[in-house]
Structure 1
Amino acid sequence: MTRRYVQTRLAELPAGPGDADARLRGLLEIYEELNADGHPEPLTLLAGVLGIPAEILVLHLRAAGRR
């Protein structure tokens, strides 16, 4: 999977203030897809496309897993 694919998937996620749970679940889904497809560094790719540190992304993914 490529950076462009991740950008496209992120653009499809809900962006409204009331959609935080759905957005977090979507991030987790994208991460799991990258991981399942054998991407060597799914966390780094996703964090890079989002423009956030990987540590922050980990917090978001953990929150999504708890919801």
Structure 2
Amino acid sequence: MAWYATPGGLSSLSAPQLAAARRSYDLWSSGNPGLASKYSFDSYVEYAQQRHAESVAETAEQEED
């Protein structure tokens, strides 16, 4: 399962998921230094997990309609 699809923040990630999340954060932070200075790795992971869960819920709602 992708790291962003695993709920629960950093503590819920396996070692490979944690490494993938770190690579993603490093890429994002290099392209967004202003935001990266405001948001920690932990915050980034929680935000990505939350947005993914919201996207899945929205897709499920659309499929019900």
TM-score interval for Structure 1 and Structure 2 normalised by the shorter chain = 0.3 to 0.5
Task: Pick the structure with greater CA Rg.
Answer: 2
Q: Which is bigger in relative contact order (C-alpha 8 A, separation at least 6)?
A: 2
